Amino acid sequence: MKKTQLTLKDKIIHRNANVTVIGLGYVGLPLALAFAEKGFKVLGVDTNPDRVERIQKFKSYITDVPSQQIKRLVGKGTFQASTDFDLLYQADVVIICVPTPIKHRYTPDISYIVSAVRSVAKHLHKDMLVVLESTTYPGTTDELIKPELEKSGLKAGKDFYVAFSPERIDPGNKNFDVTRIPKVVGGLTKTCGELTHLLYGQVIKQVHLVSTCKAAEMAKLLENSFRIVNIGWINEIAQMCHAMKIDVWEVIDAAKTKPFGFMPFYPGLGVGGHCIPEDPLYLYWKARHHNFNCKFIKLAADTNHQMPAYVVSRLEKMLGKPFSKARILVLGVTYKKDVKDLRKSPAIRLLELLRKQAKVDYHDPLIPFLKLEGLDLKAVNLTPAILKRYDAVVVAVDHTAVNYDLIYKNARLIFDTRNIYKGRTDKKVVKL
């Protein structure tokens, strides 16, 4: 009797579909492991041999992923990593999680997506599902991925399936790992969407299906544009309040007592990481191609970008001496509290600006050494004697593992951009 061949739907339901994740960064690795945890056989492919070697040695390079989890799943045989894209031939599902940076003049760089899709195209076969998770402009899936894959002679929506499902990873958020963040999916056709909904439903608690890939692409950009615009607005309010001699933090606390119609955002050095500084600019770029000028995104991006310079100007006025004769300590250099990640960190921009004029050191419990272009520094320890050397300490990032009482007792002047010293009214502490 002839054996009946399983459909992709059957494979997904029974969790014996082979899943390949391209890109093992902050998005791809947690997602790959989530599928492996549920029994899917998962292959992670990455062009970075160091990442693959670390996985093979059971060493995690991402804070939210424990090394023990990698060791267990690799040992169990449900997860493996490789740099060999020819292994894509065995995939039933391919999920693309590659970077999408911004080039000069707000132009999207989709070269990583194009490269990944072309690798998939070489091994595309009937009944394969290809899902893009990388954040991009509305229309990418329809206008770029579909035509590229159809060069194989197979037809999207008929011979194979294509969908978009934006990543929503929040590094360092212990309350919402990849399985607990609701997933948005949109397919090229109804069947594409339904299969993708079924796939993610195996590992993620809530999946929301939209009608098209464009709707899913736009949803992601709406989320991040909402963030950048509101952060830009509150940073402008902070500058306005300072000019009017009003405590912006007190104002925010008062406004958020309203149980409806207000959502608190907080000022700071700007925005960092990959998503918030860059993703909205994809929408800004695409809108211009439709003769639409998206004013809010550009204005917010510019406002946030200049915040480190604003802090420098405020600090210079409060020091009472030229920067050339000042010693400053920057507290925190990561882009986010309690997350070991320097991507687009506004604290790094602050450090670079200050180093052009003053003698500057830094302390960060997560970053003992700072080796970036133009920077080669070692974090200083926080002791009473060391703190007394500095004319000012700038609280750039509010890491939990810092002794703020020690700083308060020994620092001459504190410029607090994170409201760590809420309630302090003495002249030692100056707030953003």
Reduced DSSP (H G I as helix, E B as strand, rest coil) percent helix, strand, coil of the chain, to 5: 40, 15, 45
Side-chain-side CA neighbours of 422 within 13 Å: the count stands at 10
Distance set, CA 273 to CA 35, 171, 238, 239 (Å): 25, 9, 22, 23
Catalytic residue check, 275: yes
What is the Cα–Cα distance from 215 to 218, expressed in whole angstroms?
5
Distance set, CA 307 to CA 303, 336, 350, 351 (Å): 7, 15, 9, 12
Selected catalytic residue, list 192, 213, 241, 275: 275
Which three-class secondary structure state does DSSP give residue 93? Answer: strand
Of 149, 30, 142, 42, give the one whose Cα is nearest residue 97.
30
What is the Cα–Cα distance from 77 to 37, expressed in whole angstroms?
11
Of 203, 39, 214, 222, give the one whose Cα is nearest residue 132.
214
Beta partners for residue 21, in sequence order: 44, 95
Cβ neighbours for 227, distance < 8 A, ≥ 6 positions apart = 271, 276
Q: Is the dihedral of CA 243, 248, 250, 254 positive or negative?
A: positive
Whether the Cβ atoms of residue 152 and residue 121 lie closer than 8 Å to each other = yes
Find the helix or strand (DSSP H, E) in which 409 lies: helix 404-410
Would you mind telling me the total number of residues written for the chain in this entry?
A: 432
Which three-class secondary structure state does DSSP give residue 137? Answer: coil
Residues acting as catalytic residues = 275
